[in-house]
Each structure stands twice: as C-alpha cells, then as structure tokens.
Amino acid sequence: MTRAGRIGRNVVLASVFISAGLAAAKILVGLKANSTAVVSDGLESAGDVLASGLVLFGLIMAAKPPDAEHPYGHGRLETLSALAVGMILAAMGVLIAVESAQRALRPHGPPAVFGIWPVAASIVVKSGLYSVKRHYSSQLGSASLAADAWNDAMDTLSGAVALAGVAIEANFGRQFGPADDIGGCVVGVIIVFLGIQIVRDTTSQLMDTMPDPSKLDAIRTAALRVPGALGIEKLYARKTGLQYHVDLHLEVDPEMTVAASHEIATTVRSAVRTELPWVADVLVHVEPHGLDTMRRL
C-alpha cells in the first residue's frame, strides 16, 4: 500500500472507533433520557461506522496494483464505496425522518436535560474529524474520504439540531410541544440531502467527467516543457480512485523519425507522472505538428 493509502486507512480506522463510541453513548443516553433527537443522532453515528468501514474497504482495494483483468487498477472500488456511503445515508435519513415524525404524533413525556451531553461531545469530536478528513481527502484526492468528511460535517449540523430540540422541549415542553421529535425529523432530512449530494458527485466520477480545468492546464504545462513537444491537440483525463489516467495527443515535428517521436512521447509520459503525483499513467498518441495548416495549403 502507498503512503497515501496508509494515511487514508489510518484516518478512517480512527474514525470507525470514534463513531462507534459516540453511537453507543448517544443511543444509550438518548433512550434513558427519552429523547428522539438524541437516539436519531446516535443511529446516524452507528451508520457512520458502516460508512467508514466501506470507505476503508475501498481505500484498501484501490491500493491493489493493476493486473491482467484490471489494467487501469482497482481505483474505481474507492469511488464505488463513496457511492455506497451516499446511498446508505439517504436511506437512513428517510427512516429517521419518518420515525421521528410518527413519534411526534404520539403522546409522550419530555426528554431529560442530561441527554444533551453526549450530543455536545459529538459536535466537538465530529468537527475535528471533519477537518482532518477534508484535509487528507483534498491531499489524497479521495472521493470516499471526502464523502466521509461531509458525513461528519452533517453530523455536526444534525447534532446541533438535536441539541436544540432536547434543550427546548426539556425546558419549555408545554410551550413548544414536540421540539425534540421535530429535531429528529430535521436530522433525518439533513442526512437525506447529504446522501443525495454524495451519490450525485460519485456518479459524475463514474461517468468519466473531465477534471477541473486547472488540472488539465497542469498536465499541458508539464508535457510542453519537454524539448520537441510542439503542442497538444487533444487531452482527456478520467479519475480512477485516487489518481487520474490521461490520454494525450502530442504534436511533434512531422519530419521526425518514428523512433525520435517515440522517445519524446516516452519522455512526456515520464515528465507528467513525475511532476504530478495524482496522475497514474499517460497514454501518448503522436501527431504531426501543423497538420491542419498543411491540409489547408
């Protein structure tokens, strides 16, 4: 496994254990405090354990080297794990929202104030996890780690909603009614929207959507620094896991021998991969420079 893969694995492993502890604390305290919002937030944290487990699986599998059946490597498994995280979150959000709405219609006592403490602790911890995961997902180019980071961000938001719901109903239950249950429903809706956003983003990657223009400019710049590289006719790139595979049509002197043009193409491939670590490989197709001009003449 590469250094990037090891960093991602360690971050996710830590997240799994932390989310498991928070889930247990919120569910147990929420049940004892009679708080729908806290239990809902705990169930969401339990889902985080499964989501982070999928992310971990994706990162480990994406680190496997290419083979005869997978010449582009196994990076798409990392993207598929992010897609699975989004789908799980959306489904869980629907269940939480529906259950909270149903409970709001049933008479029950107000929650105990002590139910706020595990939620308050979760807000602090999840904020920290979000910052760490966002940093490393950007550094590693990991879609699944980015999805897990946004999951933690929504945990922080949903935790704040749950905290407000418990505090309001526990202290002003008669005036505000089932604020705790409404908070649980809002938590569910937030989770649904997050899941849909993650599914949309990862589906875009699976459809080979072109990367940000700045990445394409970086590839062009690295390629054209090579002596003999006169221009780039076409440039495509697609993401497979943590890295990109590039197709590049390189323009060279039309009077050059095949052997010489091949040497330039090999140097371009090496230069791009060396200068841009997020590029896994470059397929270079050689074109004669000024072909369109010659055709017009």
The 10s digit of each residue's pLDDT in 186-211 is 777 877 887 888 888 888 877 777 88
Split into its structural domains, the chain has a count of 2
DSSP 65: P
- Is residue 114 located within the same domain as residue 179? yes
- Is residue 92 located within the same domain as residue 233? no
The pLDDT > 90 percentage for the chain reads 19
- Is residue 271 located within the same domain as residue 166? no
Which whole-number Å values give the CA distances from 217 to 140, 248, 287, in the listed order? Answer: 19, 12, 19
CATH code, 233:
3.30.70.1350
- Of 186, 206, 226, which closes a domain? 206
Mean local confidence (pLDDT), 119-135: 85
- Is residue 146 located within the same domain as residue 248? no
- Is residue 220 located within the same domain as residue 136? no
Asked if the model's pLDDT at residue 162 lies above 60, the reply is yes
Query: What is d(CA 118, CA 26) in angstroms, rounded to the nearest whole number?
Result: 6
- Of 149, 175, 206, which closes a domain? 206
Q: Give the structural domain span for 281.
A: 213-296
Residue 11 is which amino acid?
V
Query: How high is the pLDDT of residue 297?
Result: 43
CATH code, 67:
1.20.1510.10
Rounded to two decimals, what is the model's pTM? Answer: 0.62
Give the DSSP H or E segment for 252: strand 243-252
Query: How high is the pLDDT of residue 185?
Result: 78
Taking only the tens place, the pLDDT of each residue in 212-250 is 888 899 999 999 999 999 999 899 998 877 778 999 999
Average pLDDT taken over every residue of the chain: 79
172: closest CA among 216, 128, 111? 111
pLDDT bucket at 294, cuts 50 / 70 / 90? very low
Paired with 284 in beta bridges are 248
- Is residue 18 located within the same domain as residue 155? yes
- Is residue 225 located within the same domain as residue 194? no
Residue 148 is which amino acid?
D
- Is residue 68 located within the same domain as residue 171? yes
Residue 100 is which amino acid?
S
pLDDT bucket at 296, cuts 50 / 70 / 90? very low
- Is residue 138 located within the same domain as residue 20? yes
Query: How high is the pLDDT of residue 16?
Result: 82
Which residue would you say has higher pLDDT here, 144 or 111?
144
Taking only the tens place, the pLDDT of each residue in 89-121 is 788 788 778 877 776 676 656 666 677 778 788
- Is residue 245 located within the same domain as residue 189? no
Query: What is d(CA 68, CA 217) in angstroms, rounded to the nearest whole number?
Result: 32
- Is residue 263 located within the same domain as residue 196? no
Which residue would you say has higher pLDDT here, 296 or 161?
161
The pLDDT > 70 percentage for the chain reads 84
- Of 176, 206, 236, which closes a domain? 206
Query: What is d(CA 137, CA 201) in angstroms, rounded to the nearest whole number?
Result: 14
The encoded tokens of residue 24 equal 């247990």
- Is residue 242 located within the same domain as residue 179? no
